[in-house]
Chains A and B, each alone.
Chain A
């Protein structure tokens, strides 16, 4: 952010590097507008996910009852950027459905939330896995119990060399 606002012409910038984490760790008060439920939610490793995807893809990612077996939610911030760099130019290669949206797109967005299957596994994909807990907690408010986060995010998928497809030059 510091670099972004400096590019906009702001000249006097100092960074509170410890951030919210250090602030809360120090026992200092925080303000809340809409608290998320206390919920951690499960994670899935890249190794486990690739196995589950391969299995689900055998039946077109649908169970015998027609319900979705596996759905991805790719909420990386880069999805809205015109110019993507590095790993952001790729997404997980799969025929299983992928919902692409920003984290904040889910706020009070009943249509988007309703597009998430309540059956089968739903896997959230962030850059490094750090923000998945917030989406899982938000969806818990809406009664979702089938959402898991990709541990260490897209970074772990890339590191493992698992299939990706290019979405930007």
Chain B
């Protein structure tokens, strides 16, 4: 049932679907422009249960970033069979933003917040894209290919035996000093990132 329902839903929306795996009902949608219509058709065809929405950064280059997006649904009327749709989306400088799916499945709104903060892919029509898991001050999108890591993850490794009491000569830092050192690294890292962004913006 699933492949037929999927093919019909995609065709009615003017798109095309390639079945990747009939056993697990996974399909690749070649044209994502009619995505919202495809989703509405699928909902009418019985896929009323939203399960999951996630993204992956595939390419980072001159013509923009390419993302793979995966949406998993279930059809309660057909034994809660699962269907995973996959499509690619290129986010260029002048290209359109990805349409939100939260108008079709309200649950997808939270997933879109996560995709936006982790991959930097915005969704037009979703007004609530504030950070979900990361701090509001955090700069960067950790699941992008071009993400380099934060200062707290790049602090110098502590060498065992360097401090007094461990055979070394240096006085061990107090807790406050260790915090200050981490904050200083963070500040320098953020200043560097802001400077780099400024340079990028001014060409």
B is a partner of A: no
Chain B interface residues (CB < 8 Å from chain A): none
Chain A interface residues (CB < 8 Å from chain B): none
